[in-house]
Each structure stands twice: as structure tokens, then as C-alpha cells.
Amino acid sequence: MRVLAVAVSALLACAGAQAQTLIPPAAIQTAVQLREQALADRTGWQVVESLTTEVGPRMAGSEADARAVAWAEEKFVQLGFDRVWTEPVTFPKWERRSESARVVGAFAQPLQITALGGSPGGQIEAEVVRFADLAALQAAPAGSLAGKIAFVDYRMLAARDGSGYGPGSAVRSKGPSEAIRKGAIGFVMRSAGTDSHRVPHTGITRFDEGLTPIPAAALSVPDADQLSRLLERGPVQLALALDCGWDGQYTSHNVIGEITGSQRPEEVVVIGGHLDSWDLGTGAVDDGAGVAITMAAGHLIGKLPTAPKRTIRVVAFANEEQGLWGGKVYAANRAGAGELERQVIAAESDFGAGRIYAFNTGSPDPAGSRAATAQIAEVLAPLGIELAADKGGPGPDISPLAAIGGAWGWLAQDGSDYFHLHHTADDTLDKIDPAALAQNVAAYTVFAWLAAQAEGDFGTTPKNP
Amino acid sequence: MRVLAVAVSALLACAGAQAQTLIPPAAIQTAVQLREQALADRTGWQVVESLTTEVGPRMAGSEADARAVAWAEEKFVQLGFDRVWTEPVTFPKWERRSESARVVGAFAQPLQITALGGSPGGQIEAEVVRFADLAALQAAPAGSLAGKIAFVDYRMLAARDGSGYGPGSAVRSKGPSEAIRKGAIGFVMRSAGTDSHRVPHTGITRFDEGLTPIPAAALSVPDADQLSRLLERGPVQLALALDCGWDGQYTSHNVIGEITGSQRPEEVVVIGGHLDSWDLGTGAVDDGAGVAITMAAGHLIGKLPTAPKRTIRVVAFANEEQGLWGGKVYAANRAGAGELERQVIAAESDFGAGRIYAFNTGSPDPAGSRAATAQIAEVLAPLGIELAADKGGPGPDISPLAAIGGAWGWLAQDGSDYFHLHHTADDTLDKIDPAALAQNVAAYTVFAWLAAQAEGDFGTTPKNP
């Protein structure tokens, strides 16, 4: 504990005279025990195995969405959470029925594609015009793609922190609307992915107001290579057939399990993942892992002989994939009920199942929690996790809460291979390393427990909407 | 050359007094030059890029089969072969139109499958009975699978020499007939593959005489894992819908390019690969690579200032995948025309695009060619290729020729990852390493050139049919 004391003293010196949130030594000792126990525990694996096997793919609004909600309620009960409840989340339902693409003409052949979430259906056959990236499409003259299919061939790069996804996903979110503005009747893109398999990457797209949506799809990486090679030989005519689209509203649920606090039960430490997945895989790394990691963390804290001071709340968020619907409802409901101040800190695991390598917290008023953050980091350090001051941010479903003043925790996972699998058929259980998953559970258990025991807050400061 | 001379002397001593085929020193010198030239040459890559891009998938009997034949004829001409010809190969045509599978009931979800080649179509829904391997299915009591779907869950092992494929492919070739004998109405198997992607492995199956064929399909490896986990939870009902089947006869062609020999043009050294592929991928490693390696080898020999003594014959065989149809026709036609004795030696590249690590030759009368084989091996050695005496055998399309007495060459490729890709959608150009491909071209160039220059034969001895 000596090293820790020195570190905290230094932080206090830096922070000046402001009162610091601190974690009592007894809580630290328990955290060390929890950490070692979690590393040897199989609960996280069992939970993700159960979800991906028994429910499988669970796209928001699908038949399996309701089964996933029922699964989560039952799993929380099985794992000993003492309060299990749901909150409704309503959103438009998008369906994928069938999809195919083929090159026609002299080099006729099928190409593997998948519709982007939100795409309308349609059958078109047109010449393909390739753009190296989104900027090149944006630079095309208005009307220049009249009657054509735009193809954005941007190759996403792999990175531990997933930083390649920003430009990769921008092609998906902005490309179709840009293509429409240039006159295109269809849009295809090289998948926002880093693998080399015939598994196209889906994901939500949106069409800007006032535009008439066009069929939009992603090619697998080898198929984008192929289309690019074909285009080197001359004009390519592509036939695209998508049967998909929006169909009414659907109400799913955020599913919530709690380990009730013994001293300040109304104050909650929120951890979670999202319960929905895309339909192509079984949602193992996105985001069965996040649900399992945080359910297991809550379970391990719940098994302690003494309850945490604050409530540990594990949230399995509804429909993250199509627009953070569950996260937005969670934040709006807390704000609406005047509970925002009681959201002590919140963290979502939604970046796969790779080992956590960095940790930080943040809030509108972070100065007072720097010492407690350093204390948590000291307990995380043996897991190979470094304190990354001034880095990170809230997970996707936490971002609506953070936007209105909620404090967030950031436990950064190694995402080097996350985009090999993300939003593809290949997102299946075999891609999860049980030891790495247990390291995640250990980290979330330590984080949630220590945040619940901290004397003082993490800087949650409700903002006026 | 001193080392070589010593090695050959030793072999001559071992072989006793029998006359040995020998390769003249000038031919060895040219082979060394060809080897280095081939390593720096891009022809092999350009050929496989062209075939997989411009023709793409080319299942025997499909529309693309005819395009592949036209492509091969044109490519031989482009590459300077001085005689290009075809021989017709007629076979039954099998078509794949659509295929799907889903678990029904409480754990409803789709599973990724592909029909086995030769399977009939059909829509069935039945309980699945799992067997760990083919022996377990064979041991089931007759009639015990009445109304059920048999599932053979045998996990194929990866090996450099592909030795895992024997038991893996036996499940595919024998499993469906065994299942029928036990009363099953459908058959599914864990793919004979070593990957972990959602790409099921197809491949031909056959139904024993007198049995009524049943729908037969392979699950991808992760889907077999999933089905196995579901079965641990209780009975599983599977709906299988295959639209596929035999539909008449089709005539394709072996496509043959020759570099005509200057001294004994009627004697041929045969190298080749098979032109057809399965329909799921673009047939890069199976067997665009083999066609490209051997076309490039013939091309490099053809560019020499002096023609080889014997003819170099490169054969792009028709329909290997569904029963060695092209190889059988090639052998039958040579026998029918009394040309069998003139087939000096034959080798097929059909095990991917990994580096060659071993070499040998064989024939009904191998003693006389041991010295020449050792001479060839000496020139191959700098490529990382070892002489593997008493090992190897003819490639698939060479085996009918070998069965009637033809000598064969064996250039063993590293197949450690071949069964990650074999017969799947993932068999695409990006999986080929251009440097490894060039090493293959160098080896085939050396082999074909030296066999054409050898004084004496390699033991071809026509057998009475």
C-alpha cells in the first residue's frame, strides 16, 4: 500500500486544495481478492456461451430480440441479482430478408454483399463508379453519378484502439447520402473491416433529410478487391438485389439487474453492455462479451459476504446497433425521474473481448475524483492495465448519460482484431479467449466495487438540457 | 557440380548394374538459370490473377466452365505455347441453386451450411442425432435413425502434408450412404476443414448403389460447434432446405498447351492443374494456382533460345472436383491412341499455393530413374526442397495415368493452411503469397525442363488394362 499512498499524495498535491474522493483501505483489500477470484472464475464465459448459443443472433426488433430480453431477466435472477427490472425502448424496426449481388457481362460472377442497416430494398442493375475514399466521392460533381452505382473502396486499417473505425464507419454513415447527391441509384462500399474473409460487415447507415434512400450494401473485403480488379479491366455492370427495409415500430427493453447497496442504495454504479446484436453472427464479441463481463462482475460482487455501499446496476441495453436507443432511453429516464445525480459513474463494455490495457474516468468536474481513479488503477495494474490520464470516453450507451453530465469509466480493450469480426457472420463464440474474458471480468469487478465503496463522487454534474 | 557427381555415383552404386537415366551437365546449368529466373518472374501470379478475376468461380458444367475453357486456350496462346488443343470431357452436371438451414424451436436460429456436391434437393425438418465420427455412425443400429438427420461432428486436423483430409473427406464421401442405411432422411457434417470462419466446405459425395439419396450438407466449423452445444442442452430440430441436384450431361474440355520438343517431340513431359473449381470461391488455391504454376513453367521453358528435347505439355484438366473426369479422359485417350509409353513423366499441382518442400518420382519401374531424380533434386534443393525417396504419389488427375503405368513426379506443397480455404467461399486470390507461388513455378520449371532433357526415361511401363 506504500506505493499507492505516495501516488495518491502526489495527486492530491497536483489537485491543490480540492476535496478528493477516496477509497478506504478495507475496500482496496477486498478489491484485490475480487480481482484474483474473477481471474479464476468461469461465470463470464458461461454467460456469453449461454447467450450466443441459446439466443444466437438477436437483431433489434427481430423475434430473437424478445427471447434475448427474457434470457437476460432469467440470467440476472440465476446470478443472484436482488432486483431485476426492465424499461421499455421503442424504435423503428428494420428487417433483412434477402440480398445478393452479381457482376453481369463477360466476367459474370456473384459477389458477397450485405445490406447496410436502414437500407431500403430494391433491384437495380447499373455501371459501377469507384472512389478511393469518401472524400473522392464528395468531390465528384453533382449529377455525375446519374443512373450509376457508387463504390467507395476505402480500406480500413487495424489498430489496438480501433482508431481506424472512424474513417471506416464514416463511409457507411455518410457515403449513401453523398452518393444520392451525385445522382447514384445504388451504393456499395468495401466493408469497414480488417479481415480477409468472405464475410461482409453490416452496420447502420442513415439518409440525410430530404433525400430518397437508395439500396446500400457492403462488399466483403475479398469481394471489394475483386470488384476493384474488375474495374481495372473496364466498365463493370453490377446487379444488386436487396429485400430489406423499415417496417413499423417495435418495443424492446433495457434489462437491468441490481446488487442493492447497503448504505446508499439510491446511488448507482452502472456497468453494462448491449443485448442486441446484428443478425449475421451470434453477437459474441459485439456485444455478448460486454453483457457477460458486466453480469459476471455484478455477480461476483453480489456473492461477497457484505453488500457494496452503493448499488451495482448492470444494464443490458436494448438496440445499441441502430442508434443507441437503449442508452438514450436510460439517460432520458434518469433525467426525467431526477435520478441523474445518483448515477455515480457508468461504464459500458462494447469493444469485444480483448484484454483491457488502459483505464480512466471522466466527468464535467473530474478534479475531485483523480485520487480515487488512481486508487482503482493501482488495483488494476497487475492485470496489465495502465492509468491513461486525460484519455478515453464513455461507451456508446453511456454517451447519452455523459452528455447530460454523468461521470464515466473507461476500460480500454485491445481491439486489434475486433474489426476482423465486427458486424459479420464471423462474430461467434469461438473468437473469444476465455482467459482474456476473465481479465475483463476482473477489471470490471474491481472498478464497480471500488466505485461503489468510494467516499465521495466521480464528478457527475447534471447539465441543463 | 562435385557434390552432385558424388551423390549420383552413390545412387548408381546402390542401383547396381542397371542402366541409369541421366541428365547432361548443360541441361543442369540451364535449369539453374531457369530456377533463378522463375523466382523473379511474375507470370504465375498474373495467370492466377487473370483466371480468378475474369472467370471467377467455375464449377464444372456451369456457364463459367465454358468461359474457363476459352480463357485457358487464349492464355496458352498469349504465353507462347506453340500448340494449343482441347479434348472433350463429358460428365453429369450438378447444380446448386439455393441452400439454408435453421434450428427451430426455443433456440431458433439460422445455421450456415452448403450442400455437398451430388446431393439431391429437398426440404426436411427433423431431429438431429450427433455422432462424434464416421465409425460411431457406422456402429449405430440399422433403422435407428428413422426419420432423423444424422450429424457427424468429426473435427479434421491441420497438417503440412494434408494427412487430416483422409478421415475428414471420408465423412463426406461415406457418411451420407451410412446415414441412409440407418434410416436417416438427411445428413449434415462438420466441414472437412481446419478454419474457424462461417464458410462451409463443399465437396463431392456419392451414394452407394441401391440407396435412395438424401439431402446432404456441411456446416461451417463455428456452426458445427453451435449445433453441438445446442445438442448438449437437449433435442434439436433442424430444418434443411436444399435446392440442388443432377441435371443432364455436359461436355467440357481438357485444355492443353505444348512447347514442342526439338528432338523427341512425340515424347511428353506432362504438368498441369485442374481448370474447374467449386462454385463458392474463385478457385485460387484450388486450383487456379496449379494451372498458373504449370502454365508459367511451360512459358518460361518456351522462352529459352533452344527448345527442350521432349515436348512440355501443360494440361488444364476438366472437372477434377466431381470425380477426376478430365484426368480419366486424358489417361484413356493416351491409352486408346497407343501413346502411353510416350508419357515420360507427369505431375499435377493441386494442393494450393504453399511452398514446395519435398520432391520425388515414381513409376512401375523406378530403379533406372533414381539418378536423374537425384539430379533434379539437387537443382531443387536451393528452393528448400528435399528429396523424399519412397514417398509421394501422383496428383489426382495424374492418378488414372499412373494406374495404367505412367511415371509421376511429386512436388509436395506445404498444406498447413490449405484446408482453411479448400472448397469454401474463402478460396480467393488474396490467400496466395506471390513469393511462394514463384517458388512453385521455379520448381515446376526445373522439374519439367530436366525431365525433358533426361537421357532415358522415368519408368513408364504400360500395364494391360
CA–CA separation, A187 vs B354, rounded Å?
37
Look up cell 490467400; give the residue.
B431
Distance from CA of A108 to the nearest CA of B (A): 7
DSSP string, B289-329: HHHHHHHHHHHHHHTSSS--SEEEEEEEES--TTT-HHHHH
CB atoms within 10 A of CB B447: 28
Partner-chain contact A428 B198, CB within 8 Å: yes
Q: Is the peptide bond before B426 cis (omega within 30 degrees of 0)?
A: no
Q: Who wins on pLDDT, A112 or B11?
A: A112
DSSP state, residue B189:
E
Please list, in sequence order, all residues whose beta carbon lies within 8 angstroms of the beta carbon of residue B52, skipping any fewer than 6 positions away: B282, B283, B284, B288, B428, B429
Classify residue A411 by burial, with Cβ atoms within 10 Å: 0-12, 13-18, 19+.
buried
Strands A356-362 and A408-413, how do they pair? antiparallel
Inform me whether the pLDDT recorded for A16 exceeds 80: no
- Give per-residue pLDDT as tens, A248-303: 999 999 999 999 999 999 999 999 999 999 999 999 999 999 999 999 999 999 99
The residue behind cell 545412387 is B11
CA–CA separation, B459 vs B21, rounded Å?
Answer: 10
Output the pLDDT for position B3: 41
The three cell numbers locating residue A239: 446487379
A430–B54 C-beta distance less than 8 A:
no
- Residue A282 at interface with chain B, using a CB cutoff of 8 Å: yes
With an 8 Å Cβ cutoff, is B345 touching chain A? no
Cβ <8 Å between A56 and B429: no
For chain A, domains (ranges, CATH) are: 2-82+260-453 (3.40.630.10), 94-246 (3.50.30.30)
Q: Distance between CA atoms of A412 and A160, rounded to whole angstroms?
A: 9
- For testing contact with chain B, the best of A197, A223, A285 (most B CBs within 10 A): A197
Whether the CB-CB separation of A243 and A98 falls below 8 Å is answered with yes
Task: Choose from B49, B109, B202 for mutation: most chain A CBs within 10 A.
Answer: B109
pLDDT-based confidence at A19, cuts 50/70/90?
confident
Residue A107 touches partner B, C-beta closer than 8 Å: yes
| Spatial separation of the C-alpha atoms in residues B409 and B388, rounded to whole Å | 11
Contact: A222, B49; criterion CB under 8 Å: no
What digits encode the pLDDT tens for the residues A35-55? 999 999 999 999 999 999 999
Cβ atoms of B55 and B74 within 8 Å: the answer is no
C-beta atoms of A54 and B108 within 8 A: no
Q: How far is B270 from chain A (nearest CA, A)?
A: 30
Question: Does the pLDDT value for residue A9 go beyond 60?
Answer: no
- Distance CA(B391)–CA(B188), nearest Å, equals 35
At A174-220, the pLDDT tens digits run: 999 999 999 999 999 999 999 999 999 999 999 999 999 999 999 99
Q: Which amino acid is at B378?
A: E
Contacts of B425 in chain A (CB under 8 A): 112, 198
Cell of A84: 431485476
Strands B149-152 and B264-274: unpaired
Answer for the pair A312, A83: CB distance below 8 angstroms, yes or no: no
B102 reaches A (C-beta below 8 A): no
The pLDDT, as a whole number, for residue B5 is 44
Asked if residue A287 has a cis previous peptide bond (ω within 30° of 0), the answer is yes
- B288/A contact by beta carbon, under 8 A: no
Q: At what angle do helices A370-380 and A434-453 cross, to 10 degrees?
A: 150
The closest alpha carbon to A460, from A379, A391, A394, belongs to A394
Within 10 angstroms of residue B84's Cβ, the number of other Cβ atoms is 17
- Answer yes or no: do A49 and B109 touch at CB < 8 A: no
Query: What is the CA B458 to chain-centroid distance, rounded?
Result: 23
Cell of B118: 451430388
Cα separation, B117 vs A69, in Å, equals: 40
Kindly tell me if the per-residue pLDDT of A3 is higher than 60. no
Distance from CA of A228 to the nearest CA of B (A): 10
- Between the alpha carbon of residue B371 and those of residues B5, B9, B89, B362, the distances in Å are 10, 8, 37, 12
CA distances from A400 to A85, A301, A330, B10 (A): 21, 26, 8, 81
Task: Inform me whether the C-beta atom of residue B109 falls under 8 Å from chain A C-beta atoms.
Answer: yes
Q: What are phi and psi of A117, to 5 degrees?
A: -60, 130
Select the residue of A54, A230, A425 nearest B53 (Cβ to Cβ): A230
Give dist(CA A101, CA A125) in Å, integer: 9
Residue A450: partners with Cβ closer than 8 Å, 6 or more residues away: A23, A27, A28, A31, A372, A375, A376, A379
Q: pLDDT tens, position by position, for chain B (465 residues)? A: 334 444 444 555 454 456 899 999 999 999 999 999 999 999 999 999 999 999 999 999 999 999 999 999 999 999 999 999 999 999 999 999 999 999 999 999 999 999 999 999 999 999 999 999 999 999 999 999 999 999 999 999 999 999 999 999 999 999 999 999 999 999 999 999 999 999 999 999 999 999 999 999 999 999 999 999 999 999 999 999 999 999 999 999 999 999 999 999 999 999 999 999 999 999 999 999 999 999 999 999 999 999 999 999 999 999 999 999 999 999 999 999 999 999 999 999 999 999 999 999 999 999 999 999 999 999 999 999 999 999 999 999 999 999 999 999 999 999 999 999 999 999 999 999 999 999 999 999 999 999 999 999 999 999 975
Which residues of chain A lie closer than 8 angstroms to B56, CB-CB? 103, 107-109, 226
Q: How far apart, in whole angstroms, are the C-alpha atoms of residue A417 and residue A396?
A: 19
Residue A97 to chain B, least CA–CA distance (Å): 13
Single-letter residue type at B84: V
For residue B226, give the chain A residue with the closest CA: A53
* CA distance, residue A242 to nearest chain B CA (Å): 16
Helices (H), B147-214: 165-181
Name the residue facing B56 among A54, A109, A233 (closest C-beta).
Answer: A109
Please return the burial class of A90, using the count of CB atoms within 10 Å of its CB with bins 0-12, 13-18 and 19+: middle
Please state, in angstroms and rounded to a whole number, the distance separating the CA atoms of residues A399 and A460. Answer: 13
Q: Give yes or no for B50 touching A (CB within 8 A).
A: no
Residue B355, φ and ψ in degrees, nearest 5 = -65, 145
Reference A450, options A266, A257, A271; nearest CA is A271
Q: What is the ipTM of this complex?
A: 0.95
pLDDT in tens, A77-107: 999 999 999 999 999 999 999 999 999 999 9
The terminus-to-terminus CA distance of chain A in angstroms comes to: 42
Predicted local confidence at residue A465, as pLDDT:
57
The three-state DSSP-derived secondary structure of chain A is CHHHHHHHHHHHHHHCCCCCCECCHHHHHHHHHHHHHHHCCCHHHHHHHHHHHHHCCCCCCCHHHHHHHHHHHHHHHHCCCCEEEEEEEEEEEEEEEEEEEEEECCCCEEECEEECECCCCEEEEEEEEEECCHHHHHCCCCCCCCCCEEEECCCCCCCCCCCCHHHHHHHHHHHHHHHHHCCCCEEEEECCCCCCCCCCCCCECCCCCCCCCCCEEEECHHHHHHHHHHHHHCCCEEEEEEEEEEEEEEEEEEEEEEECCCCEEEEEEEEEEECCCCCCCCCHHHHHHHHHHHHHHHHHHHCCCCCCCEEEEEEEECCCCCCCHHHHHHHHHHHHCCCHHHEEEEEECCCCCCCEEEEEEECCCCHHHHHHHHHHHHHHHHHCCEECCCCCCCCCCCHHHHHCCCCEEEEEECCCCHHHHCCCCCCCHHHCCHHHHHHHHHHHHHHHHHHHHCECCCCCCCCCC
Rounded CA separation A238/A104 (Å): 6
Q: What is the mean pLDDT of chain A?
A: 96
Asked if residue A176 lies in contact with residue A242, where contact means CB atoms within 8 angstroms, the answer is no
Q: Give residue-wise pLDDT tens across range A341-382.
A: 999 999 999 999 999 999 999 999 999 999 999 999 999 999
